Amino acid sequence: MNRKKDTNRLNSIKNKIPPQFMSGLPHLEFLGNRQITIEGSRGILKYSDNVIRINAGSMVISFSGRNMNVKCIAPDCTMVEGFVTKIEFTV
């Protein structure tokens, strides 16, 4: 009885969230070419002054540019800062 109630509640929460967030793909937000927020990241694969490569589950996103650095990092979110000149998706 309780399990049925919990399932109903989870379904109702899922219905309120937009479908693009439920697809398992990373959510990227750009502030020009200076700051990028990656939601759904799993970790950093390469970290240097010119290239930052991030594991985003189903793909690897590579940011190339100048003065690149990770401003903030959490288990499922990364914020990259710097002068980005190129973005590459490896699927």
Among 1, 17, 74, 91, interactor with other proteins by CB under 8 A: 74
Among 28, 45, 59, 60, interactor with other proteins by CB under 8 A: 45
Closest residue by Cα to residue 33 from 89, 86, 91: 86
Per CB under 8 A, which region of 2-10, 11-19, 30-38, 73-81 contacts other proteins? 73-81
Among 23, 48, 85, 90, interactor with other proteins by CB under 8 A: 48
Of how many residues is the chain composed? 91
Q: How far apart are CA 68 and CA 84, in angstroms?
A: 8
Among 30, 72, 88, 89, interactor with other proteins by CB under 8 A: 72
Closest residue by Cα to residue 24 from 42, 45, 43: 42
